[in-house]
Amino acid sequence: MSDTESTASVEVDADVALDFDDGLLPAVAQDAETGDVLMLAYVDPEALAHTQETGYAHYHSRSRDELWKKGGSSGHVQRVREVRVDCDGDALLYRVEQEGGACHTGFESCFHRTLDGETVGERAFDPDEVYGDDADEAATDGDP
């Protein structure tokens, strides 16, 4: 991935066909160093193109229906080392270097709880310090 790579059209440039039939594909962000699964969000061709062009993870916010650069407000960006695609081309894996923590609640990973409610993840930052009283900022950063 480089800034000089042409990514005007994901479908044309990619050797692997992606199935955007439903408009959005789920993208799993994984810490490239630790292997931790950090979050799951959604991408459209625009978000994927921005990810490839900039080297930083972009998603499409379903709630706001707009392009979303992860960490745009918090600074907790994700530098993307590699984008992988699954066997049937309808899911993506972003292998990233996570700045700060991925979760807007302050945890390293959004998957920091078991289904029984036990906390199993590690805290990375204090959300009050990062977002202050600006709930919109937290939502902008954390809501896929």
Residues that bind its own copies (CB under 8 A): 14-16, 26, 28, 30, 34-37, 39-40, 52, 82-88, 91-93, 103-105, 107, 110-117, 120, 142-144
Looking only at the bridges linking them, the beta strands covering 37-43 and 25-31 are antiparallel
CB of 104 to its own copies, least distance (A): 7
**Does 86 belong to an annotated binding site?**
yes
Would the annotation count 128 as a binding residue?
no
- Closest contact distance (angstroms) between CB of 130 and its own copies is 15
3-state secondary structure of 141: helix
Pair of tokens at residue 85 = 């695609």
Gap between the Cα atoms of 138 and 103, Å rounded? 10
Q: Taking Cα atoms as reference points, which of 58, 30, 19 lies closest to residue 42?
A: 58
- For residue 102 the two structure tokens come to 């991925």
User: Cβ 57 to its own copies, closest distance in Å?
Assistant: 13
Distance CA 53, CA 61 (A): 19
Is residue 126 marked as binding?
no
Q: According to the annotation, is 103 in a ligand binding site? A: yes
Task: Decide whether 2 or 129 has the Cβ nearer to its own copies.
Answer: 2
CA distance 27 to 43: 7
Minimum CB distance to its own copies smaller for 36 or for 99: 36
Annotated binding site: 86-88, 90, 103, 110
Annotated binding site for Mg(2+): 86, 88, 90
